[in-house]
A and B are shown apart, each in its own frame.
Chain A
Amino acid sequence: MSENYQKVLNSERFKKLIKKRWTFSFFMLAVLFVVYYGYIFMIALNKDFVTKKVGVYTNVGIIMGVGVILAAWILTYVYVLWANNVYDKEVEEIKKEL
């Protein structure tokens, strides 16, 4: 383990990066939980709302199901955008100090 490694390990910048990474991850996970469990609990507890018709035959439940699938994809994509544009840039900067 070189001296530079130790310096980076103890640097505020590196500690901040790790904190930022997990804050963002857990925030995204929380959104995912809200979206998915919101859907599931709505089905379990509020049948009247879920069975309400949107248009002639389609109902709220079907729209919500499609919505959760799309939301899962969007969340994944947002994470990658963040990782590529924010996290990776910071990583490259820190790597220069090694």
Chain B
Amino acid sequence: MEYKFGEPNLVAIGCFVAVVILTLIITFLVARKQKQSASNYYTAGGGITGFQNGLALAGDYMSAASFLGISGLVALKGYDGMIYAVGWLVGWPALMFLIAEPLRNLGKYSFADVVAYRLNQGPIRTASAIGGLLVLLCYTIAQMVGSGKLIELMFGIPYIWAEIIVGAVMLLYVLYGGMLATTWVQIIKACLLLFGVTILTLLVLAKFNFNPGNLYGAVQETYGVEMLNPGGLVKGPVEALSLGLALMLGLLGLPHILMRFFTVPNAKEARKSVVYATTFIGYFYLIIPIVGFGAAVLVGKSAIMKIGSGGNMAAPMLSQLLGGTPFLGFIAAVAFATILAVVAGLTLAASAALGNDLYVSTFKKGNVTESEKLKAARMSTVIYGVAAVALGIAFQKQNVAFLVALAFSIAASANFPSLFLSIVWKKLSTTGVVMSILFGGLSAAILIVLSPTVWVTILGNSAAIFPYKFPTIISLPLAFIGAWIGSVLVPDKAAQEKYEQVKIRTYLGVGISDASDH
């Protein structure tokens, strides 16, 4: 059949406009009642329930890359795509066991609050904010470039306009409604995405008598048994270990995910949000391989490759085949909403790092009025939003696949160790944190440049200097070593005493209300 991409599709545009209008109305309704303050802007006043936050976390995490990317990967590479789907989920239990509750009890606007709590505010906030911003920038550029190409392909809008539309609509939500509006956008997007992928899965399974075994049978008969067996993705134990560490612990250092824990009132709701998030995301990754295998059999690999060699169009093509142009329009609008929501979450986290950690707390040393705080939040949102659009346009022709690997690697090696150690290690000192972030962040960035993804694929060298795609196996231990050396060389007695006192707050949750009030 003929696939209609790259020409304006009335249903798609109609669905997209409906989604934007719906979210804007909800944004307007919920934000109208809210008092205008920095606390409300960054954390929705801490009044989000565990269920709502669980959906919003799922919305933040399930990007267009996981929807279109993983279904495409399964469609083209078979079982190897499924290994990815599994890997993206396992960070969530780790997040729950290690940091969800103490994070909620200690933080206010961003994870830098937790790290800086008992240490020297200036250097810690600066280092954490830079580590956080690096992760956010890599993630944002990957999202912007992916979304621009996607929208260009699906709606036939020129790339630059696609970037500007995403940036402008996203800024509208964030500036007007802050965290509360962003949360609702995430919730609506998560529901739409889960609904759309469920329908797509049911349509596929209906073709195979609702028996996945029949689907695998069709895959095997069309492409041979190799498609159902693991191929070359996991090459050896070291590569596997490094990839697993990056995926698992990277989640624990993503600023926009961590920030969501300050929107719930207490540790109990924080816990609940992780269970709900894990439920929704787990369900999503359970059914997405069925969409991928379905596309391989029903649409066919060669037809998918014709539209794009990465396989990103597998799910949209399948939706047109099974549900006609109206369903394709719906799926396209869902993908667009997905991008909007993820970029909104990233921008809000970046504005907390820029506006609160760098400007208000470090540059102004906290000597600002409430209205100045809010102004700083809005200004940094605009600055980051414009930068996101500009970078999206600048990187248009670049291969940005490595940026997600870089974001997760820096998150796992720079943000996670300092955050985790500040919670559990009494002797951690200011110098220790700065050295940990420097060691982890720099080694992760350098090793990624020397890895096959950049050194061979982008720079065109014949062999990589560092043989593994993910640097975590080296950079994560380096971050811990850095923290240890720094803390032993320049200990901080006051911080050690404060650590004992903070325990009441960390473990009993006493005294957190005064944090979200001012």
Cα distance A62–B90 in the bound complex, in angstroms: 17
Partner among B89, B240, B507 whose Cβ is within 8 Å of the Cβ of A69: B89
From B278-286, B338-346, B439-447, B480-488, give the one contacting chain A. Answer: B278-286
Within 8 A of A (CB), among B254-285: 268, 271-272, 274-275, 278-279, 282, 285
Q: Does B394 contact A (CB under 8 A)?
A: no
Within 8 A of B (CB), among A43-95: 43-45, 47, 50-51, 55-59, 61-62, 65-66, 68-70, 72-73, 75-77, 79-80, 83-84, 88, 91, 94-95
Residues of B within 8 A of A57 (CB): 213-214, 216-217, 219-220, 228
Residue of A nearest to B95 (CB): A76
Cα distance A88–B94 in the bound complex, in angstroms: 20
Q: Does B508 contact A (CB under 8 A)?
A: yes
User: Which of A40, A43, A62, A65 counts the most chain B CB atoms within 10 A?
Assistant: A40
Cβ-defined contact, A51 with B229, below 8 A: yes
Cβ-defined contact, A9 with B229, below 8 A: no
Cα distance A54–B500 in the bound complex, in angstroms: 54
Partner among A22, A51, A98 whose Cβ is within 8 Å of the Cβ of B424: A22
Residues of A within 8 A of B89 (CB): 68-69, 72
Q: Does B465 contact A (CB under 8 A)?
A: no
From B79-87, B316-324, B360-368, B385-393, give the one contacting chain A. Answer: B79-87
Residues of B within 8 A of A84 (CB): 268, 271
Cβ-defined contact, B285 with A36, below 8 A: no
Cα distance A75–B91 in the bound complex, in angstroms: 12
Residues of A within 8 A of B275 (CB): 76-77, 80
Cβ-defined contact, A18 with B507, below 8 A: yes
Cβ-defined contact, A88 with B268, below 8 A: yes
Cα distance A36–B94 in the bound complex, in angstroms: 11
Within 8 A of A (CB), among B80-110: 82-83, 85-87, 89-90, 92-94, 96-98, 101
With contacts A51-B229, A61-B228, A80-B271 taken as known, whether A68 is within 8 angstroms of B93 at the C-beta atoms is: no
Residues of B within 8 A of A79 (CB): 93, 96-97, 271
A18-40 interface mask toward B, CB cutoff 8 Å, 1 = contact, 0 = none? 10011001101100100011011
Residues of A within 8 A of B93 (CB): 28-29, 32, 72, 75-76, 79
With contacts A37-B241, A47-B229, A98-B510 taken as known, whether A29 is within 8 angstroms of B98 at the C-beta atoms is: yes
Cβ-defined contact, B286 with A69, below 8 A: yes
Number of interface residues of A (CB under 8 A): 51
With contacts A32-B94, A68-B86, A91-B509 taken as known, whether A73 is within 8 angstroms of B234 at the C-beta atoms is: no
A46 CB to nearest chain B CB (Å) = 10
Residues of B within 8 A of A45 (CB): 237
Q: Does B149 contact A (CB under 8 A)?
A: no
A75 CB to nearest chain B CB (Å) = 5
B121 CB to nearest chain A CB (Å) = 20
With contacts A9-B500, A83-B271 taken as known, whether A32 is within 8 angstroms of B90 at the C-beta atoms is: yes
Cβ-defined contact, B229 with A50, below 8 A: yes
Cβ-defined contact, A76 with B86, below 8 A: no
With contacts A29-B98, A57-B228 taken as known, whether A40 is within 8 angstroms of B240 at the C-beta atoms is: yes
Residues of B within 8 A of A66 (CB): 286
With contacts A9-B500, A36-B248 taken as known, whether A62 is within 8 angstroms of B216 at the C-beta atoms is: yes
Partner among B97, B228, B272, B500 whose Cβ is within 8 Å of the Cβ of A59: B228
Cβ-defined contact, B507 with A17, below 8 A: yes
Cα distance A40–B248 in the bound complex, in angstroms: 13
With contacts A56-B213, A61-B230 taken as known, whether A69 is within 8 angstroms of B285 at the C-beta atoms is: yes
Q: Does B236 contact A (CB under 8 A)?
A: yes
Q: Does B501 contact A (CB under 8 A)?
A: yes
Cβ-defined contact, A76 with B274, below 8 A: yes
Cβ-defined contact, A44 with B510, below 8 A: no
Residues of A within 8 A of B92 (CB): 72, 76
Q: Does B122 contact A (CB under 8 A)?
A: no
Q: Does B235 contact A (CB under 8 A)?
A: yes
Q: Does B146 contact A (CB under 8 A)?
A: no
Cβ-defined contact, B508 with A94, below 8 A: yes
Residues of B at the A interface (CB closer than 8 Å) are 79, 82-83, 85-87, 89-90, 92-94, 96-98, 101, 212-214, 216-217, 219-220, 225, 228-230, 234-237, 239-241, 243-244, 248, 268, 271-272, 274-275, 278-279, 282, 285-286, 289, 424, 500-501, 503-504, 507-510
